[in-house]
């Protein structure tokens, strides 16, 4: 909610957000600031453009955590690509339910195409290995993984990761698409969520 909607003119009152997510008391240390996100995502986009030049590449995002990353990554990829999304559920609060469910399937076939799965964060690796299993049954030419964040210390199942934005410690993080009970996705950086 905003206290006033500034019209931009000299007499307009200053716009003050009375409920500013960046001042939420549960938002802790900033692990990846905006500028570092921008720089690294540009590098990954450039690498993808070189590695997949001349190939029919499909970027597949996992809803909803990967939307910001996908949007910025797309702007950094200069080769022709198509985009599709999957929705799955595995987390309730801070803990994985351990059960992965497919909530929304792809809209288009991926047979014969090079697929790059765009993930927000790999933690235990359980979700990733479920999604990879599903995608491989569809006959793609190749399937690789691009993740913004990697928490290697929590890994239960290892899968090769072709592009990794940042390694983060084994803490629950929010922001830049990542939520806690649907909150904090709109933080423009990655921060630790403090224990309640
Ligand atoms: P995994 O199956 O690898 O344990 O978990 C993958 C999914 O869990 C991610 O796509 C993400 O939605 C969620 N997740 C894992 N760690 C975190 C975290 O630190 N913060 C948030 N917000 N989500 C996480």
Q: What percent of the chain has pLDDT over 90?
A: 77
Q: Is residue 192 scored above 70 in pLDDT?
A: yes
With bands split at pLDDT 50, 70 and 90, how would you rate the model's confidence at 121?
A: very high
Beta bridge partners of 99: none
pLDDT computed for residue 65 by the predictor: 94
| Residues noted as catalytic | 123
pLDDT computed for residue 13 by the predictor: 59
Between 36 and 19, the more confident residue is 36
* Range among 100-104, 121-125, 153-157 with highest mean pLDDT value: 121-125
Mean pLDDT of 47-59: 95
Beta 142-150 vs 163-167: how paired, if at all? parallel
- Which residue CA neighbors atom 12 of ligand 1 most closely? 65
pLDDT computed for residue 14 by the predictor: 64
Angle between helices 34-51 and 67-76 (to 10 degrees): 60
State both tokens at 14: 């200053």
Between 14 and 158, the more confident residue is 158
CA distances from 79 to 45, 75, 187, 191 (A): 10, 10, 29, 32
| pLDDT, tens digit, 9 for 90 and up, residues 130-189 | 999 999 999 999 999 999 999 999 899 999 999 999 999 999 999 999 999 999 999 999
CA of 121 to the centre of ligand 1 (A): 6
Q: How many residues does the chain have?
A: 196
Q: φ and ψ at 180, to 5 degrees?
A: -130, 110
- Angle at CA 45, nearest 5°, toward 101 and 83? 40
Atom of ligand 1 nearest to the CA of 100: 2
pLDDT computed for residue 95 by the predictor: 61
- Angle at CA 163, nearest 5°, toward 161 and 168? 80
Q: Tokens 């339910």 map to which residue?
A: 97
Residues with a CB atom less than 6 Å from ligand 1: 62, 65, 90-91, 96, 119-128, 172-174, 178-180
CA of 122 to the centre of ligand 1 (A): 6
* Domains of the chain, first to last: 34-169 (3.40.50.2020)
């Amino acid at each position: 909610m905003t206290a006033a909607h500034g019209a931009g003119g000299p007499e307009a009152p200053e716009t003050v957000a009375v409920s500013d997510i960046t001042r939420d008391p549960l938002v802790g240390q900033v692990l990846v600031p905006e500028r570092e996100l921008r720089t690294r995502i540009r590098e990954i986009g450039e690498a993808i453009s070189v590695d997949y030049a001349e190939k029919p590449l499909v970027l597949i995002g996992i809803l909803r955590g990967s939307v910001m990353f996908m949007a910025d990554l797309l702007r950094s990829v200069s080769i022709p690509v198509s985009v599709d999304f999957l929705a799955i559920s595995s987390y309730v609060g801070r803990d994985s339910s351990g059960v992965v469910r497919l909530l929304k399937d792809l809209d288009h076939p991926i047979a014969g195409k090079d697929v790059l799965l765009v993930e927000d964060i790999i933690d235990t690796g359980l979700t990733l290995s479920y999604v990879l299993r599903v995608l491989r049954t569809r006959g793609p030419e190749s399937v690789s993984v691009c993740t913004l964040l990697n928490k290697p210390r929590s890994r239960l199942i290892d899968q090769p990761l072709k592009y990794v934005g940042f390694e983060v410690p084994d803490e629950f993080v929010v922001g830049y698409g990542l939520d806690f009970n649907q909150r904090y996705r709109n933080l423009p950086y990655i921060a630790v969520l403090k224990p309640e």
